[in-house]
Amino acid sequence: MQALWMIWGSFFFATMAVGIKIASNDFNLFELVFYRGVVSVVFMALVMRARGTPLRTPVPMMHAWRSFIGVLSLGAWFYAIAHLPLATAMTLNYMSGVWVAAFIVGGALLYGQAQRQGSLMATVLLGFVGVVMMLRPTLDQNQLFAGLIGLLSGLGAALAYMQVTALGKIGEPEGRTVFYFSLGSALVGLVGIAFTGLTPWTAVRWQSTIWLIPIGVLGALGQWCMTRAYSRGSTLLVANLQYSGIVFGAFYSLVLFGDQIPLLGWAGMGVIVASGLLATMLRTRTLPNTPAEEH
């Protein structure tokens, strides 16, 4: 099933997050965005050349909008991470799945097809409940503005995912979509560095430096899998399976960083896995003959 590409994408993103956590000890956020973008651009250019996929696109404005809203969402998420507890920032960003479901169900209501989407919508909401159980977000009164920015990061991510779906429906290759998003990330990171400055290489530890290339490659692979999932799979199912990234991240935290997962967190992990399995079964049983384009 094409939607399972989202699980692979979540795995790559979670692994990339390990590298970001380590590299962030020496590089600022704009540097990480820039290096990730540059490495991803080079990696995707090589992949596209090997596959014979041209860089020229007939829909440059669609790619420009996808890159703009995607990078804006990424910047909003970074701001939320800097000003909110990590659990809260991640929860607000992972509301993108709920936003996607809201957009899809709203469209279904508009066209009188809501009965085909309601059960999948419920699994997306169930998965988000599992995310909240795992991350247990908190928000103080003086963090309301940052909370709003974090909420907008999830909304922006949802809009970017919907644009990825639109690009897939018109036949744009996944590699080309990832390439232009990576290019946009690199440019935004470069502009940010112009204001924040560049960390001297003499002040950077080798443990951080060796992660720069893997971060870019893993980010490109994650974007590629996510793009393929949203382009070819059921949008609601993919939005649900996106929550698997929280599970991968929790295991990395447990094994590599010694973080402890409370009982409620394990229960939330079980809810996320159960919601993904339930969504997969519902998609298979209730919409077995629906083409991937009919989201």
pLDDT at 295 over 50: no
DSSP letters for 14-30: HHHHHHHHHHTTTS-HH
74 alpha-carbon distance from chain centroid: 9
What pLDDT does residue 118 have? 64
For 53: left if phi > 0, alpha if psi spans -120 to 50, otherwise beta; the answer is beta
State how far the Cα of 293 lies from the Cα of 166, in Å rounded to an integer. Answer: 9
Joined together, the tokens standing for residue 283 give 């998609």
Rounded alpha-carbon distances, angstroms, from residue 201 to 26, 190, 204: 9, 17, 5
pLDDT in tens, 1-53: 566 888 899 899 888 888 887 888 888 878 988 999 999 999 999 999 999 98
pLDDT at 117 over 90: no
pLDDT band at 217 (very low <50, low <70, confident <90, very high): very high
pLDDT in tens, 31-45: 988 999 999 999 999
| Lowest mean per-residue pLDDT among 60-69, 84-93, 212-221, 233-242 | 84-93
Q: Based on the number of CB atoms within 10 Å of its own CB, is 52 exposed (0-12), middle (13-18) or buried (19 or more)?
A: exposed
pTM of the predicted model as reported, rounded to 2 decimal places: 0.80
Q: Which of 131, 141, 148 lies closest to 268, judged by CA?
A: 131
pLDDT band at 126 (very low <50, low <70, confident <90, very high): confident
Query: Cα dihedral angle (57, 62, 65, 71), rounded to 10 degrees?
Result: -50
56 alpha-carbon distance from chain centroid: 25
DSSP letters for 151-197: HHHHHHHHHHHHHHHHHHHTT--HHHHHHHHHHHHHHHHHHHHHHH-
Instruction: Write 111-118 long-range contacts (CB < 8 A, 24+).
Output: 116/286, 116/287, 117/236
State how far the Cα of 11 lies from the Cα of 265, in Å rounded to an integer. Answer: 19
Q: What is the arithmetic mean of pLDDT over 202-227?
A: 90
